[in-house]
């Protein structure tokens, strides 16, 4: 959320999101301003891209899977 907020071109929304992230329950409070803005789709795209980067990094370094034996 911090990376997305830092890239935000709209100054007022950027300021609001920074304040939201500084307070309690940032996950809950971040959602509303994004949902009601024109950046909703940009947030979902950003989130998807970041998740894909994480998965790619894990695959690159090999995923260690722990199997529980019964």
16-45 pLDDT, tens digit each: 999 999 999 998 899 999 999 999 999 999
The number of domains in the chain is: 1
pTM of the model: 0.75
Q: Give the Cα separation of 11 and 16 in Å (integer).
A: 9
- Tell me which residue range forms the domain holding 55: 2-59
Residue 5: predicted pLDDT: 96
Q: Give the Cα separation of 31 and 9 in Å (integer).
A: 18
Would residue 27 count as lying in a domain? Answer: yes
Angle, helix 40-61 to helix 26-35, in steps of 10 degrees = 130
Would residue 26 count as lying in a domain? Answer: yes
Would residue 35 count as lying in a domain? Answer: yes
Would residue 70 count as lying in a domain? Answer: no
Would residue 37 count as lying in a domain? Answer: yes
Would residue 66 count as lying in a domain? Answer: no
Would residue 41 count as lying in a domain? Answer: yes
């Amino acid at each position: 959320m911090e990376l997305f907020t830092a890239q935000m071109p709209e100054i007022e929304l950027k300021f609001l999101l920074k304040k939201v992230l500084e307070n309690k329950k940032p996950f809950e409070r971040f959602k509303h301003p994004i949902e009601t803005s024109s950046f909703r789709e940009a947030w979902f795209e950003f989130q998807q891209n970041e998740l894909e980067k994480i998965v790619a990094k894990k695959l690159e370094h090999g995923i260690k899977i722990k199997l529980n034996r019964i």
